[in-house]
A and B are shown apart, each in its own frame.
Chain A
Amino acid sequence: MRLDADNIGLIVAAVGGLALLFGLPLVVELFTLLQFTVYIVMAILALSLALIWGFGGILCFGQAVFFGLGAYAYTIAVFNIGESTVPVLLSIVVPAAFAAALGYFMFYGRLSDVYMGVVTLVVTLIFFSFMNHTAGEEYRIGASRLGGFNGIPAIPPINMPGDPGRVLWPEEMYYVAMGSLTAIYIGLRLLLRSHFGRVIVAIRENETRAELLGYDVRLHKLLIFSIGGAIAGLAGCLFANWNAFVDPTVFGLGQTAQIIIWVIVGGLGTLIGPVIGAMLLQYITTWLGTVEVANSSLVMGAILVVFVLLVPRGLVPTLQLLWQKLRGGRSDPGIVATPREAVESGDD
């Protein structure tokens, strides 16, 4: 393995991830660790949109749908099955399959970017209002009621695979979440270096050219969209576990907007940016909740406006640029994803 910037970044991520994984439980109290667990879950969710929007160029206003589907798939399955291994797998497979179906309709139907945004938003609204209307006794899947706007309480936590009696402690949930985040982050970095990943970025840059080179653009988009759905689904599963409760707000507009804000603030076209964005903004939200000085939605909105106007590239890309300027170095290094500045110019 050559020691170029990309490989160094990977090693730093792996060491940093492992240090947090094993180090944090030693230095913080259980309560803080629990708070951290949910930040990590949200960082995984942010990664899913960072991938499909920042690298795949697909603006999806419906990332909350896959998150919510993951949460509900786990919950419903675990009430029916008891042992949590299959429910965890379902929380990944169900949203991925739904993303594939939705993606098939959008990409093979050659929907334009704007309509793609509208469709994903509408799908979010449909799930939100449908789930809100399932409070009645008649809405149940097997042993699990859907609960409607009341939600589903007392969700059984993940157990050791094959041993339903041995459920994971909250502390162990932290290890699962942090381990997942590290593994997904490194997995995505490797994916983006592969031939498939490089084609995904190429498609973001110029669909026509990718197609004229013989790459099946629709299939590539479908696959990356489904991978994004799977990751968001896992985040939903971990969230249902952390919260032990799920209700239709996981499908809500607030949830969807939050994910987009994390990605914009952290930096579109990077993976680490949205991870940092999610953790930072979640931390601020929690803190605002404790001190009760300002409404947290208001503050989130203000942060978004400030970033869009003053730091449009987001935190990480801006810091990278500053760092390069300080070193008096050259401009953008190679394949690093420069987000599409403008809408693609029209054809001749």
Chain B
Amino acid sequence: MTDAPVLQTYDLTMRFGGVVAVDHVDFALKEGELRCLIGPNGAGKSTFFKCLTGQLRPTEGRITVRDHDITGAQSHEIARLGIGIKTQVPNVFDGLTARENIWLAARRGRSARAADALTDETLERLLLTSVAATPVGQLAHGQRQWVELGVVLAREPWLILLDEPAAGMTHEEVERTAALIKEINRTATLIVVEHDMQFIKMIADVVTVFHQGAILVEDNVANVMRNPKVRDVYLGKQAA
């Protein structure tokens, strides 16, 4: 493992009319990290992810991935570099079965035989084998989230972005998701956006706090929790 960042943004800015959703962000991520990204509603976390994955073209600034400049590249080009994302609003193929969802991810860049094997493996890993033949639109919310996780994993990306992976899950499901994320982190670099502080404590190492589109604090989890600025931001949100 080298210390050179695998993902870096320079002055990254995303404006929607008058709203500055991402405001001159300089961000760096090292290989093998499990970075948590927190911040109140509307802080710009999801918009930041959309810029990284080419779903939005940043207004200003640059993004590099292992020395490639990917600013303004198409989503599928960025995905092909080995970057996967679970979006905040689930993006799955609702009319297709869980197996078909995962197969479509596994098959890209792989032979049919390898894709079939990887699909079975992924279904088992996420405990989805029993619902493999069910259309994803008919699954419970938690299972649907896992299908999307499976879809992301079946591409075997080396960099994974997860936008609120535990949202709306039961306590047990949250714990399983945390364990899964740690396991994924053995082979992949991750950025995880989450609001649930219990969840963050389970997985976090370094935490980046977003506020009004900019990085407010970046420190280890214990320091961030103690930081008065972070408290203010969250309390301010609660008061509002």
Contact = CB atoms under 8 A, between A and B. Distances in A.
B85 to A, nearest CB: 6
A338 B95 contact: yes
List the 3 closest pairs (A to B, CB-CB), nearest first. Answer: A214-B79, A205-B93, A209-B91
Contacts of B46: 348
16 contacts: A195-B112, A198-B107, A202-B96, A202-B104, A205-B95, A208-B75, A209-B91, A212-B75, A212-B84, A212-B87, A213-B105, A214-B76, A334-B97, A337-B95, A340-B95, A347-B87
B144 interface: no
Contacts of A334: 96-97, 99-100, 133
Interface in B68-94: 74-76, 79-80, 84-85, 87-89, 91-94
> Interface residue tally of chain B, by bracket?
20 to 34
Interface of A: 195, 198-199, 201-202, 205-206, 208-217, 331-335, 337-338, 340, 345, 347-348
Nearest to B135: A332
A212 B85 contact: yes
A335 B112 contact: no
Contacts of B84: 212
B53 interface: yes
Contacts of A347: 87, 89
B226 to A, nearest CB: 31
Contacts of A332: 135
Contacts of B85: 212
Contacts, number: 83
Interface in B113-135: 133, 135
Contact of B94 (A206, A212, A215, A331): A206
A309 to B, nearest CB: 23
A4 to B, nearest CB: 12
Given A212-B76, A333-B133, 13 more contacts: A205-B93, A205-B94, A210-B104, A211-B76, A212-B87, A213-B105, A213-B108, A214-B80, A214-B108, A214-B155, A335-B100, A338-B135, A348-B46
B107 A195 contact: yes
A216 B91 contact: no
B74 to A, nearest CB: 8
A211 B93 contact: no
A195 B75 CA distance: 20
Interface of B: 46, 53, 55, 74-76, 79-80, 84-85, 87-89, 91-97, 99-100, 103-105, 107-109, 112, 133, 135, 138, 151, 155
B181 to A, nearest CB: 19
A212 B53 contact: yes
B87 A348 contact: yes
Given A348-B87, A348-B89, A213 B79 contact: yes
Given A195-B112, A213-B108, A208 B91 contact: yes
Nearest to B85: A212
A332 B137 CA distance: 12
Nearest to B84: A212
Contacts of A331: 135, 138
A266 to B, nearest CB: 19
Interface centre among B55, B96, B103, B133 (most CB of A within 10 A): B96
A180 B238 CA distance: 67
B93 A209 contact: yes
Nearest to A340: B95
A331 B138 CA distance: 10
A268 to B, nearest CB: 12
A211 B112 contact: no
A331 B76 CA distance: 33
A213 B151 contact: yes
A212 B107 CA distance: 14
A211 B80 CA distance: 10
Contacts of B99: 334
Residue with the greatest number of chain B CB neighbours at <10 A, chosen from A195, A205, A216? A205
Nearest to B95: A338
Contacts of A195: 107, 112
B108 A215 contact: yes
A205 to B, nearest CB: 4
Contacts of B103: 198
Contacts of B138: 331
A203 to B, nearest CB: 9
A198 B104 CA distance: 8
Contacts of B80: 214
A211 B79 contact: yes
Contacts of A348: 46, 87-89
B90 to A, nearest CB: 9
With a 10 A CB-CB cut-off, give which of A201, A208, A213, A331 has the most chain B CB atoms.
A213
Nearest to A205: B93
B92 A209 contact: yes
Contact of A214 (B94, B96, B109, B112): B109
B105 A206 contact: no
B238 to A, nearest CB: 22
A218 B94 CA distance: 21
B79 A198 contact: no
Contacts of B100: 198, 202, 334-335
B93 A206 contact: yes
A285 B87 CA distance: 50
